[in-house]
Each structure stands twice: as C-alpha cells, then as structure tokens.
A and B are shown apart, each in its own frame.
Chain A
Amino acid sequence: GNSVTQMEGPVTLSEEAFLTINCTYTATGYPSLFWYVQYPGEGLQLLLKATKADDKGSNKGFEATYRKETTSFHLEKGSVQVSDSAVYFCALGGGSNDYKLSFGAGTTVTVRA
C-alpha cells in the first residue's frame, strides 16, 4: 500500500537559514504528492502540491519537486522566517488509493530570530 517516510525532527534553525525536509514515498500507480503545514493552534493547511512526475509545487517561498526516479518530494525554502515555525507533513494520495491521503509523521520546525 501507499506510505510516506519523512525526515524526523525537531529541526531548529536561525532566521534566513536554508530549510530542507526530506520526504520519500512508496506507492502504486501515479499518486499526487502534498505538503501540508500545521501552525501552532491551527488546523492543517495545504502548502503545495504536485500531481505528476517532474512537477514542481511552490507557495510562500517553499518548493518541492515530484521525483519519480528517487520516489521523493523534498520540501525546501531558501530563507526561513520565524513565522515558518510549524509542523510540516508530507502526504500522498491517488494512485491505487483514489481518495485517501497517507501522511508522514510530521516534522516540527522552529525558527529562532
């Protein structure tokens, strides 16, 4: 079945540092890939998505590229801000499971001023 393996945290960075969170997946068929973010005290929000191989999703300075050859969807941001402190979840959906999302365990990111 579908599964997602996500880099363990917590990750602590200084403002303006480079952030990368690794995500790899196992799936049958052709899933879509997502990054969701959960800010403190808030619900899950979609950060970005990619629906096919070599697609790049981007939003709020974050980027991730759907790499079928390495089954990866790593999240990157070139210069983080304190407001990026949150829990980040990698997820996949579709493929052989046409509807449900499979999530990674989440990575807690703390950015210090």
Chain B
Amino acid sequence: GAGVSQSPRYKVAKRGQDVALRCDPISGHVSLFWYQQALGQGPEFLTYFQNEAQLDKSGLPSDRFFAERPEGSVSTLKIQRTQQEDSAVYLCASVQPWSSGGQETQYFGPGTRLLVL
C-alpha cells in the first residue's frame, strides 16, 4: 500500500482483556516505531525495530506490553490484562533505510484508538 496501515482503527476492551494491535509499514521500510498518544498529549515513544530486531523497548510502560516483528515487516503490539490507563491512541511509524547524516522522516499510520472500560 501507499502508506502505513493499522488495524483495528478502534478497539473497545474490558479491563483485564488482552488486545493485539497490528501495523503494516510502508513496503521496504526497515525501521518501525510504536508510540502511545494519550488524549490531549503528544505521542510518546514505546519501542523501535530495525528489521526483526527490537533495538529499544525502553518506552514500554510495563511488562504487560509486548511488541514483535518476526519477519521484519508487519508488527504487532500486544497488551495483556488491559487497564483503564492503557486507553490511548497507539501509533505506528516506519522509516526508509537510514542515509548518511540527519534524521529520517517517520511516516505515521492512522493509529488504533483503544478504550479500556
């Protein structure tokens, strides 16, 4: 596809339920990021992949959050035993292979809006 896609676009979960959020990056993009955007706030970094390797997961708020990208393309963010504070928009972004110098542009998907009741 032309851009980053995410599914589902909306998810309502009961507290304690497990959820899985999917991200399809732009074809050929090596790097993939997950961000969490709380209502009225800017996105906050969660985790970063280069191909299938998860190089940084320092932003994951707890061990209930888990992300994977087993074949270096599609990624899944899983949240176990969801809590109300997990309610947010989860954004995925992908980047072309790094070139020399400068910060490459991250292309964002539309996000998944998660509401935990």
Contact = CB atoms under 8 A, between A and B. Distances in A.
Interface residues of A, number: 27
Contacts of B108: 36, 43-45
Contact of B105 (A46, A52, A98): A46
A103 interface: yes
A68 interface: no
A31 B103 contact: yes
A25 interface: no
Interface string A66-91: 00000000000000000000000101
Contacts, number: 64
Interface residues of chain A: helix, strand, loop or mixed (majority): strand
A43 B48 contact: no
B43 interface: yes
A110 to B, nearest CB: 15
A100 B48 contact: yes
B26 to A, nearest CB: 13
A51 interface: yes
B1 interface: no
Interface of A: 4, 6, 31-32, 34, 36, 42-46, 49, 51-52, 89, 91, 93-94, 98-106
26 contacts: A31-B103, A43-B91, A43-B108, A43-B109, A46-B105, A46-B107, A49-B103, A51-B102, A51-B103, A89-B43, A91-B42, A98-B103, A99-B33, A99-B48, A99-B56, A99-B95, A100-B33, A100-B59, A101-B35, A101-B43, A101-B93, A103-B43, A104-B42, A105-B40, A106-B40, A106-B42
